[in-house]
């Protein structure tokens, strides 16, 4: 297992061009080409399936929030969605020659090991023009094979933007890195009911963390449903949860409220 590098020593100015490219334009032909090349690999070798894609908003801004085990998670999440997805990814990935593919494919960097305001500016730009951002609640890959812990960044983006967050579970990719051993596990992606928060201009750190934890609770529930009951049971559980959620009030984290009292939709 390669050691993790938790700080990117490069100057922040190195990443300016990548942010500007994504802020000024949507994913282009590179996104389409990569999708065409990878789709057969994902569908045939990994028997990839996506459940409840209808829960991803067809129009308007949205944040897709999946658990994260593998570099391939980006592609498993997006392959069945008609809309193009913009991905927030660690800055260490932005090296030649792949950085050209990343920026033209809708990927933008978050500078690892630092509080990166530019990443949030880019994410807000994408959401403001009505597009989708994929952001991992855990902040990075879990290398243990088990779900990690949510970071406040997702909660911050959700509260500042007011965009609906789609909790998403990915099962199977913790073994996907073993492709050199010809290990191609079956992968399933399950989308959950969007979580909506009241927009807050300057959420506190506690509110950000509470919102992130709320979303990750949904991710865990979807993930456990897939692991314990398989695809059919997971769909049934997801639909039952959707009916229950429709009867409850809109999730709100109001300014100055107790983060521990966040209502569960």
pLDDT digits (tens, 9 = 90+) for 12-23: 999 999 999 999
Assess contact for 247 and 193: CB atoms under 8 A.
no
* pLDDT at 132 (0 to 100): 98
User: For residue range 77-109, what is the model confidence (pLDDT) as tens digits?
Assistant: 999 899 999 999 999 999 998 999 999 999 999
* pLDDT at 177 (0 to 100): 61
* pLDDT at 86 (0 to 100): 97
* pLDDT at 251 (0 to 100): 44
pTM: 0.85
Pairing of strands 165-171, 188-191: antiparallel
Distance separating alpha carbons of residues 103 and 116, to the nearest angstrom: 17
* pLDDT at 109 (0 to 100): 96
Assess contact for 152 and 205: CB atoms under 8 A.
yes
* pLDDT at 179 (0 to 100): 57
The dihedral sign for the CA sequence 136, 142, 145, 148? negative
Distance separating alpha carbons of residues 7 and 114, to the nearest angstrom: 7
Distance separating alpha carbons of residues 100 and 192, to the nearest angstrom: 32
Integer angstrom CA distances of residue 207 from 17, 39, 120, 210, 253? 32, 38, 17, 5, 7
The dihedral sign for the CA sequence 1, 36, 56, 89? positive
* pLDDT at 5 (0 to 100): 58
Name residues whose C-beta falls within 8 Å of residue 227's C-beta, 6 or more positions apart in sequence: 171
**For the chain (length 265 residues), average pLDDT per consecutive 10?**
71 95 95 93 89 94 95 90 94 92 94 90 98 94 84 96 96 70 82 94 95 94 84 70 53 46 42
* pLDDT at 24 (0 to 100): 96
The tokens describing 94, both together, are: 């932005």
């Amino acid at each position: 297992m390669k050691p993790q590098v938790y700080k990117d020593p490069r100057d922040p100015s190195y990443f300016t061009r990548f942010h500007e490219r994504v802020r000024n334009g949507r994913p282009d032909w590179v996104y389409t080409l990569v999708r065409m090349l990878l789709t057969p690999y994902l569908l045939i070798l990994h028997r990839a399936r996506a459940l409840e894609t209808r829960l991803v908003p067809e129009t308007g801004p949205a944040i897709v929030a999946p658990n994260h085990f593998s570099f391939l998670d980006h592609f498993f999440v997006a392959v069945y969605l008609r809309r193009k997805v913009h991905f927030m990814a660690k800055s260490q990935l932005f090296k030649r020659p792949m950085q050209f593919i990343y920026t033209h494919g809708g990927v933008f960097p978050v500078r690892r090991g630092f509080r990166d305001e530019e990443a949030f500016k880019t994410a807000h730009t994408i959401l403001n023009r009505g597009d989708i951002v994929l952001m991992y609640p855990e902040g990075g890959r879990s290398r243990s094979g088990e779900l990690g812990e949510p970071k406040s960044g997702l909660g911050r983006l959700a509260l500042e933007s007011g965009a609906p967050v789609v909790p998403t579970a990915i099962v199977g990719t913790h073994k996907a890195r073993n492709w050199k051993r010809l290990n191609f596990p079956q992968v399933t992606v399950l989308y959950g009911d969007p979580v909506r928060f009241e927009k807050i201009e300057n959420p506190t750190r506690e509110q950000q963390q509470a919102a992130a934890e709320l979303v990750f609770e949904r991710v865990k529930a979807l993930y456990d449903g897939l692991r314990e009951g398989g695809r059919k049971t997971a769909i049934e559980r997801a639909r039952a949860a959707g009916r229950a959620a429709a009867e409850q009030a809109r999730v709100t984290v109001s300014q100055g409220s107790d983060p521990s009292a966040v209502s569960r939709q």
